[in-house]
Structure 1
Amino acid sequence: MLCIRLIWSFCLILIFLVGTGEAKAGELSQRLANFPQWEQLTSVEQAGGDLVYPDWMAGSWQVTSTLVDLVAPLAPDIVTPGFEANRQQLNQPVSFLVRFMKEKTPITGLKLIPKIVNKSSIIVADRAFNSLNLARAYLGDEVVLSTKVDPDSPNRQITFLLGNRQLVSIVTARAIETPENSKFITSEVFQQLFKGDSRPYFNTVESTTAYHKLATSNPAILAEQVTAVYLSPQDPDYFAAASRPVALYRYRLEFSPTPQD
């Protein structure tokens, strides 16, 4: 059960990782509007470099994340373990701190910079800080020991857990969309490996998030996020799923600036 809770809870963590290509106009927006009619992975490109955020995301934020819907598209034939148990999280807000900051060292390997970004002030996420806070908010300080981002690649992250367990997350692809100055949409695909039990557990997750900067209000940013879980080739139901998602989770995210900012 811990393994499954980690998989769905950690989907949000990885929105703070790497960036890739510009999506076709409106493709990601339409994908969110089509929830839960998702038939396969969205169009993405190979990940390269770090994800650059709009200037208006700079600073420290108190994020409130609320699961507002969950769907098992292939039920009752295929339902992931723990899916029904996750219903207890519906409409239960979870809060944690995140921060986005100006990159102090030159960034290499970027495939693009969003149109709405000031190229003289590159904003990136504090990935280790954000991931650790999110993980502990969902699983508890006693379960989540630490989080480490590969110094050679922002695509790879390891979360160390109680009982000599690890969750390894590797971003493989991403797309972005910038429909207007106050909106920013990302979609990424990543592989997850849970190690520590007798048998490692693999899966693929797609996370699509639309951020919207509000004019003058608190929260200052609202976001809609949908995460889709796909079976790995090691799963006995992989071919039966036929590249379709086996679980979909929809979240509402509220970003409020912290006092120090």
Structure 2
Amino acid sequence: MPSALADSLSDRVERFPYWQRKPNVTVVNREDLLYPDWMAGTWDVTSTLLQLEAPLAPDLKSPGFEGNRRYLNQPLSFQVRFQANPKAGGVVGDRTFNSANISKAYFGDTTEIEIIPDADNPNRQVIDMAGGQELVSVVRGRSREQPEGDRFLSTEIIYQVFRTPGQIYFNEVETTTDYRQQDSSHIESEQLTAIYLSPKDPAYFRANGSPVALYRYHLELTRAESGK
């Protein structure tokens, strides 16, 4: 098995799914993720889950893993937006807009979902769902690379707290994305997601730092008419 300790994000993408540890990232406070200028605008996205694995099964598996099988090879469509932010010093994602649209794509327009951003910290948001369910997400670490002008890679480590009536669940999520600009109106990307147990999980030491779930998505981004 190849080593999972890659020196760069492009190496890490190539080694998927042989990941045994989280990537090296820089701790973030209130700094946002900066994207290249060619990503500015509104995009129509088609996202398709192509691969999912539970490398520590049957001993360890994340709670939502089996339920996610229904999305395998099922394209989902939504919009995302990236915009210039002089305060941040470049192009950033509209996290509230993007999270709301992605949530609707997965759960349906009729599901009651409210995205609550943190006005003081772009790296923290709350997703309030029906039935007293709440997901708090905080970006703790990040890395980015632009090896060529038309290619951009980023990774974020996100600490999540999922609350339901009578239950609370912690985990950490890695999202590593490899964006490739095809032309001014078309971007293709591979998005790799890994779920890690939180140190607060009783099974944390059994996992030994390895991911308990891995997902690979292919994304097609086409510039929306309104985003030109």
TM-score normalized with structure 2 length: 0.92
Aligned to 1:130: 98
In structure 2, distance between residues paired with 1:127 and 1:75: 33
What's the % identity of the aligned pairs?
48
Aligned to 1:229: 195
> Could you tell me which of 74, 79, 94 is aligned with 1:92?
74
Aligned to 1:196: 164
What amino acid does structure 1 have at the position aligned with 2:50? V
- For residues 128-167 of structure 1, the C-alpha deviation after alignment (integer angstroms, 9 at most, x for no partner) is 1111010111012332421021010001001111122211
Aligned to 1:53: 35
> Could you tell me which of 111, 114, 134 is aligned with 1:143?
111
In structure 2, distance between residues paired with 1:201 and 1:26: 32
Task: Tell me the secondary structure at the aligned position of residue 10 of structure 2.
Answer: helix
In structure 2, distance between residues paired with 1:133 and 1:247: 24
In structure 2, distance between residues paired with 1:140 and 1:166: 17
Q: Which has the higher strand share?
A: 2
Aligned residue pairs: how many?
Answer: 221
> Could you tell me which of 139, 153, 164 is aligned with 2:121?
153
In structure 1, distance between residues paired with 2:51 and 2:87: 40
Please state how far the C-alpha of 1:26 moved relative to its aligned partner.
6.0
In structure 1, distance between residues paired with 2:158 and 2:191: 15
Query: Does structure 2 retain, via aligned residues, the 8 Å contact 1:210–1:224?
Result: yes
> Could you tell me which of 82, 97, 120 is aligned with 2:64?
82
Task: Tell me the secondary structure at the aligned position of residue 53 of structure 1.
Answer: coil
* Long gaps (5+) in structure 2: 1-5
Task: Tell me the secondary structure at the aligned position of residue 245 of structure 1.
Answer: coil
Query: Does structure 1 retain, via aligned residues, the 8 Å contact 2:62–2:195?
Result: no
- For residues 195-242 of structure 1, the C-alpha deviation after alignment (integer angstroms, 9 at most, x for no partner) is 2320211101111000000037x6x00000110000112322211100
Could you say what the CA RMSD is over the residues aligned between the two structures, in angstroms? 1.6
Task: Tell me the secondary structure at the aligned position of residue 154 of structure 1.
Answer: strand
What amino acid does structure 1 have at the position aligned with 2:24? S
* Long gaps (5+) in structure 1: 1-24, 108-118
Larger CA deviation: 75-84 vs 194-203: 75-84
Task: Tell me the secondary structure at the aligned position of residue 67 of structure 2.
Answer: helix
In structure 1, distance between residues paired with 2:128 and 2:61: 27
Query: Does structure 2 retain, via aligned residues, the 8 Å contact 1:66–1:90?
Result: yes
**Following superposition, which runs of at least 4 residues in structure 1 exceed 3 angstroms of deviation?**
none
